[in-house]
Structure 1
Amino acid sequence: MSGRVLITAGASGVGRAMAEAFDAAGAQVWVADLDPDALSHCPSHWRKSEINVAEEFTVADIFAKIEAEWGGLDTLCANAGVAGPTAVVEDVGIEDWRACLSVNLEGAFLCAKYAAPIMKRQQSGAVVITSSTAGQYGYPNRAPYAAAKWGVIGLAKTLAMELGPFGVRCNTICPGAVEGPRMEGVLAREAAAKGMTRDQVYNGYASGTSMGRFVEGRDIADMAVFLASDAARLVSGQVIAVDGHTVNPDPKL
């Protein structure tokens, strides 16, 4: 595929897998990330920017640069997110709640806010927002994260309605448990909170899917490339799980 793609949190994890998949498909890639070290290890032919998606001025700045350098944007992958606290709701501090929603929900909103005028002017584009299966089912001990991930689904469905008349599509991907460092942190915190071992929590997540396994970053990336392609030209407003088929969102309880 050809095209110009911006991926937030694109220097590592799922975002890096997305960037590599779009690159392999022939797209021009621009990765935005909070981690300068991770950005420095990205391929030299990718455009790179250090941003915090929760700060509007940095989001506005990157879209201004994209317009100046590329003249438009074909795909936005609003992928930036944080795990948030692992605790029962009465133990969640308001600052931890706000920090989680600021990145996961407000960050996606800010990116959409600045991508929308560009895509509307060119009468084309695709927005892919990374949600989570926690945004479909909820999840105990993860109230801020689940609330944010439900929120981005509502945002995406609204964007699909607002932008559809301009030829712009918007969809959400809901990953299940994804192999990698971020999930390892979640496993460790949940194990500590529940008095379980890391492997017990891991196996609980895996056994909650009909395929009995975690997904990998490339599984999410392949779906993002599809949703941005002409093969999905009439796919919009959809919530697509890439999770090995969740059959029990909390098998450990």
Structure 2
Amino acid sequence: MTDEAVTAGALEGRRALVTGAGSGLGRSIACELARHGAETILVGRTRSTLEAVAAVIGPASEVQVADVGDAAEVERLAAALHGREPDLLVNNAGIGGPVANLVDIEPDAWDEVFRINVRGVYLMCRAFAPAMVARGAGDIINLASVTGKRPLVGRTPYAASKMAVIGLTATLAFELGQSGVRVNTLSPGPVDGDRMRRNFALESARSGITLGAAEEDFVSRSALRRMVTEQEVADAVVAMLAFPAMTGADIDLSAGMIAR
């Protein structure tokens, strides 16, 4: 993605809300949705990063600061958007959490991962699904991960939280399906970017191996022996919207880290 203004496209007339939109996957997803014509609502905890993304997208974007794991803040967000609720919700906000063996993870650190990664998805769906139901149409795409579908030593809270999102999605798809609302999960594999670089550094420190060895060990688990890119994940979000019969699905985008 470049910092040039994005252009209109196939999603004209849709209003998309993307959480964690100030950086990384959220930034790429928001810009790709906007490039295809969607009006975008950028949600995150840091106004400056959100405003930088809004500057790239242009006037078809809006910044809303909120912590998705805080019920009061989500309620304030919903009130601010009353009457112009999104018909496309992308729950991308998430944190990696600690890198340590389970027995060495403090309860507060465990709880914080679930507060953002699972409670945040629950609160956002709870706040914005009713307007989709009333409209008789809408899409919710929850970002999960291939982590948890195969072992990743030292990442139990993250793995457990992302598998919880997959279960939430499957059940919510049945709750909302008869109302015309689709709910799907996108599960990326390792995404090349700042977060993975931090994870490699943490794994290097934890295990005593070099940074390069930590990256190679992780990437070697995929069939294509590479990470996926932020743009590929953003493209996948747009592609998922093109299948009217898709709901309750969990789409792996992992360069073959998961094969089934």
TM-score, normalised relative to structure 1: 0.93
CA contact (8 A) 2:149 2:258 kept: no
1:133-152, CA deviations, whole angstroms, 9 ceiling, x for partnerless residues? 11322421001000100000
Task: Please give the residue correspondences for 1:162-201 in structure 2 after superposition, counting only pairs within 5 Å.
Answer: 162-201=175-214
Counterpart Cα distance in 2 of 1:205 and 1:177? 8
Match for residue 121 of structure 1 among 115, 125, 134:
134
Query: Given residue 174 of structure 2, which amino acid in structure 1 is its aligned partner?
Result: M
Counterpart Cα distance in 2 of 1:113 and 1:26? 26
CA contact (8 A) 2:143 2:187 kept: yes
Note if 1:13 corresponds to 2:13.
no
Counterpart Cα distance in 2 of 1:135 and 1:67? 36
Match for residue 66 of structure 1 among 81, 101, 106:
81
Note if 1:81 corresponds to 2:103.
no
Deviation at 1:84? 0.3
Note if 1:56 corresponds to 2:79.
no
Q: Which runs of 5+ in 2 are unaligned?
A: 1-10
Partner residue in 2 for 1:135? 148
Note if 1:244 corresponds to 2:255.
yes
Deviation at 1:201? 1.1
Query: Given residue 133 of structure 2, which amino acid in structure 1 is its aligned partner?
Result: K
Partner residue in 1 for 2:170? 157
Match for residue 92 of structure 1 among 105, 121, 129:
105
In the superposition, relative to structure 1, how do residues 247 and 132 fare at CA in structure 2: closer, same or farther (>3 Å)? closer
Deviation at 1:65? 2.1
In the superposition, relative to structure 1, how do residues 131 and 247 fare at CA in structure 2: closer, same or farther (>3 Å)? closer
CA contact (8 A) 1:100 1:145 kept: yes
Task: Please give the residue correspondences for 1:103-122 in structure 2 after superposition, counting only pairs within 5 Å.
Answer: 103-122=116-135
Deviation at 1:64? 2.3
Number of matched pairs: 244
In the superposition, relative to structure 1, how do residues 171 and 58 fare at CA in structure 2: closer, same or farther (>3 Å)? same
Task: Please give the residue correspondences for 1:224-243 in structure 2 after superposition, counting only pairs within 5 Å.
Answer: 224-227=237-240, 229=241, 231-243=242-254
TM-score, normalised relative to structure 2: 0.91
Cα RMSD over matched residues? 1.2
Structure 1 residue runs of 4 or more that deviate by more than 4 Å after TM superposition: none
CA contact (8 A) 1:135 1:174 kept: no
Partner residue in 1 for 2:51? 40
Identity of aligned residues (%): 30
Partner residue in 1 for 2:8? none
